[in-house]
Amino acid sequence: MKVCCLLGHPVGHSMSAVMHNAAFEELGLDYRYELWDTEPERLEEAVDRLRKPRMRGANVTIPHKVSVMELMDAVEVGASKIGAVNTIVNDGGVLTGYNTDVTGVERSLEEAGVDPGGMAAVMVGAGGAAKAIGYYLSTLVESLTIINRTKSKAEELASYLSGLPECAASVSARSLNREVLADAMVHADLLVNATSLGMKPDVDTTPVDGSLLKSGLVVVEAVYNPLKTRLVREAEEVGATAIGGLSMLVHQGAQAFELWTGLEAPTGLMFEAARRTLEGAGR
């Protein structure tokens, strides 16, 4: 049996095992997916375990997407440009890091019929998920405002994206507070939550107050547990197009599945398996 896992802390909320094990079973593969709750000081030890013959690879989530890069034997070009790894493949003890988060956000927008080209985008967060989403958006949107509690991290990401030859956007950084959000949202076409705000059990939190949302806005949520975060609910209430985090999770997971197995992922089945579990947990 081959084993894949999720490296993160915490991981108890994750739907990755649900959707991947459903996919492995559907295709009759002798694979199993496990959740490895890995504190930062134990990351190197966990990565070393991935080199064992039975291990095929891993997904990587908060807070390891950036720090895990230096533990790889090789990093795929896209992940290197993004500056974060969310998928690892083990080939005979050699670990290669990839980033499938870009695929996640790209396909989520496509499914919703949204073309971000020329939009004014606001992204809250500057961590591992924000690096991938920011990279993708910076190649398409007209402007990208990165808002983060630690302004220096937002400035670092904005400076990096602005320096890439493929960057088509005017990229800026600001501190996270209500006044800044209110100002940024006036002209925004697209809002992205690339933080963990609103994740279970803190379901009453939101990165952007509902009073700042508007009809016609596109809201992309990275959080998928609960299935509908407060941000998604309030976006729908004002007539905005709200894209929940589950779509992004499933599409990035599908690409990881294909990297591990070489087979086309049963994306619809993965989505339904995770959705049913989340709906059951919400009752």
Tell me how far apart the alpha carbons of residues 202 and 57 are, in angstroms, rounded to a whole number: 30
Q: Is 214 among the residues known to form the active site?
A: no
| Per-residue DSSP letter, 39 | -
Omega before 40 within 30 of 0, i.e. cis: no
Token reading at 276: 């049913």
Backbone dihedral angles phi then psi of residue 210, each to the nearest 5 degrees: -60, -25
Tell me how far apart the alpha carbons of residues 56 and 173 are, in angstroms, rounded to a whole number: 38
Task: Indicate the burial class of 209 (C-beta count within 10 angstroms; 0-12, 13-18, 19 or more).
Answer: middle
**Apex 61 CA angle, 181 and 166, nearest 5:** 60
Catalytic residue among 65, 81, 131, 228: 65
The three-state secondary structure class of 213 is coil
The three-state secondary structure class of 3 is strand
Catalytic residue list: 65
